[in-house]
Amino acid sequence: MPATPVEIAVLWRHVNREMRALLHRVGKEYELPLFSFMLLRQIKEEPGITLSELARSVGAAKSHISTTIEQLVREGYVEKRSDPSDQRILRLHVTEAARRYFADLGDRAQGLWAIVLEEYDGPSEEVARFLRSLLAALERANARLEREAVEVQGR
């Protein structure tokens, strides 16, 4: 009997909960709040992003972003630099300490996945194949929903 969408949704929630618990256990020693981590990761991915751009990209109030960024600056993870073409604009960049933080976290995450895969009953290629297939399905579903939204707007 094929799994129902409800069963899959419940299983997905349980997998996410267990993964978050593992990540929390591993990340406890880093003690960076999730929101700060999200902002830091965004700055790492978009060096030179402004506060306004960061607020728009994460969907949070600029005042909240500003307070969190100031904390990250004090902790040595973020630096503000003036834009060379307009000194009034401040651009955000991660520091070497932040790069080390992400490298350490990446190493810890790899170690965590190694443990998870050791506990998995099947070959790791099975997991990779499933995840690639799931990712492709999610991308197709996203594209489909986007097309449907455009069709609805066109009516």
pLDDT digits (tens, 9 = 90+) for 31-54: 788 789 899 999 999 999 999 999
pLDDT for 28 equals 67
99 neighbors 21 (Cβ within 8 angstroms): no
User: Who contacts 57 (Cβ-Cβ below 8 Å, separation ≥6)?
Assistant: 42, 46, 49
Q: 32-95 in CATH: which number?
A: 1.10.10.10
pLDDT tens-place string over residues 132-153: 999 999 999 999 999 999 888 8
Q: Does the predicted model carry a pTM greater than 0.85?
A: no
